[in-house]
Amino acid sequence: MTSELQLSTIVTSDPERRAAASRDFPNARVVDSADWVWSNAKAHDLVVITTPNRFHVPLARAAIAARIPVVVDKPMAATAKEARELVAEAERARVPLAAYHNRRWDGEMLTAQRLISDGTLGKVVRFESRLDRWRPAPTLDAWRERGAAEDAGGVLYDLGPHLIDQARVLFGPVTKVYAELDRRRAGVLVHDDVFIAMEHANGVHAHLWTSSIAAQVGPRMRVLGTRAAYTKTSADVQEAALRTGRRADEPGFGEDSESNWGLVGAGTDLRPVKTEKGNYQRFYALCVPWLRGEGPPPVAAADAIAVLDIIEAAQRSAAEAKVVSFPQGC
């Protein structure tokens, strides 16, 4: 997927996943324990941690101890405090650390960035963004549905980081947070229906939704400006394509069909606007100069901390029915 990076080792103890990994990546080594990686640190230039959330911090610490640069999936940690401690540990050891917030390269996100930067929308005043699912029957034994704090389960920690990170990338620091967090399905221990309202330092208001009980989903994204608006009904195609077994290096991967393009304009004067090609592999392309010391990380660890600060502010807001403020911006 990125010509200058080679997948060297895959760690999984699950027999079915080991067999699938060996089949799909015949040139990669498949091992059943991360200890093999730490013992062979010099054979690796980067470790990517994509485990259940409770293992993010201990595995990242092990990578830092082995002096291997590390990328940690979202959320970087279960708490902002843990994330700060992890970042401080990496800085002391001088080990590069980045967060995997791949939805910065969603097609609709890239399209919104272009329309904002080229002035098509005018001054943006409101941003609406959704990542909804229809999963009315919870899988209570799945780790994302568990209620333990260290699991960081539920849609607030699963899809919430993407929504918050996208809004911060587009509009900068957040100064106020209001949230409604609910458990709607019988027996669930985690939030499965979430609304977050944020005010950015530049005056833009962002409304974010994520739910497991969306029998009908709303528009994926709507950006309202003083000249025009951009509305995208359907979501980026990359995740769905990957679930069907497609690879990011296949021709046409990440391209949206014309029938799913969003609309730009005002009132009845609307026109389709081509969706920018989704580009998750861009994250890894940006890893190359970063690892060589020639550029910043694809996603700074500080951004992952800010996302966790906002998630925790949302929890306080919902618990106390109040707006939580960040006077210096977050």
Cα torsion angle, 291, 297, 298, 299, sign: positive
66 and 112 housed in the same domain? no
Write out pLDDT tens, residues 296-329.
Answer: 999 999 999 999 999 999 999 999 999 999 999 9
> Can you give the pLDDT at residue 140?
80
Q: Are 156 and 314 in contact (CB under 8 A)?
A: yes
> Can you give the pLDDT at residue 119?
98
Domain of 31: which CATH number? 3.40.50.720
For residue 181 the two structure tokens come to 């967090």
Write out pLDDT tens, residues 42-81.
Answer: 999 999 999 999 999 999 999 999 999 999 999 999 999 9
For residue 144 the two structure tokens come to 């994302």
Q: Are 222 and 128 in contact (CB under 8 A)?
A: yes
Write out pLDDT tens, residues 224-254.
Answer: 999 999 999 999 999 999 999 898 889 999 9
Assess whether pLDDT exceeds 80 at residue 86. Answer: yes
44 and 110 housed in the same domain? no
The answer to whether residue 236 is domain-embedded is yes
Q: How many domains does the chain have?
A: 2
Q: Are 278 and 238 in contact (CB under 8 A)?
A: yes
124 and 86 housed in the same domain? no
Question: Bridge-partner residues for 330, per DSSP?
Answer: none
119 and 151 housed in the same domain? yes
What's the Cα-to-Cα distance from 286 to each of 58, 98, 102, 160, rounded to whole Å? 25, 11, 12, 24
The answer to whether residue 3 is domain-embedded is no
Domain of 164: which CATH number? 3.30.360.10
Distance CA 83, CA 106 (A): 25
97 and 190 housed in the same domain? no
Select from 53, 304, 314, 281 the least CA-distant residue to 165: 304
Residue 138's CB is within 10 A of a number of other CB atoms, namely 20
Write out pLDDT tens, residues 182-240.
Answer: 999 999 999 999 999 999 999 999 999 999 999 999 999 999 999 999 999 999 999 99
Select from 253, 274, 278, 247 the least CA-distant residue to 263: 274
Considering the entire predicted model, what is its pTM?
Answer: 0.96
Three-state DSSP state, 32? coil
Work out whether strand 229-232 and strand 262-266 pair parallel, antiparallel, or are unpaired: antiparallel
Distance CA 129, CA 163 (A): 7
111 and 233 housed in the same domain? yes
Q: Write out the DSSP string of 250-305.
A: STTTTPPPGGG-EEEEETTEEEEEPPPPP-THHHHHHHHHHHTTSS--SSBHHHHH
> Can you give the pLDDT at residue 115?
98
> Can you give the pLDDT at residue 3?
82
Provide the residue range defining the domain that includes 24: 9-101+284-295
Write out pLDDT tens, residues 1-20.
Answer: 578 999 999 999 999 999 99
> Can you give the pLDDT at residue 1?
59
Three-state DSSP state, 190? coil
Distance CA 163, CA 310 (A): 11
148 and 253 housed in the same domain? yes
The answer to whether residue 300 is domain-embedded is no
89 and 147 housed in the same domain? no
54 and 81 housed in the same domain? yes
The size of the chain, in residues, is 330
For tokens 């293992």, name the residue: 55
108 and 68 housed in the same domain? no
157 and 172 housed in the same domain? yes
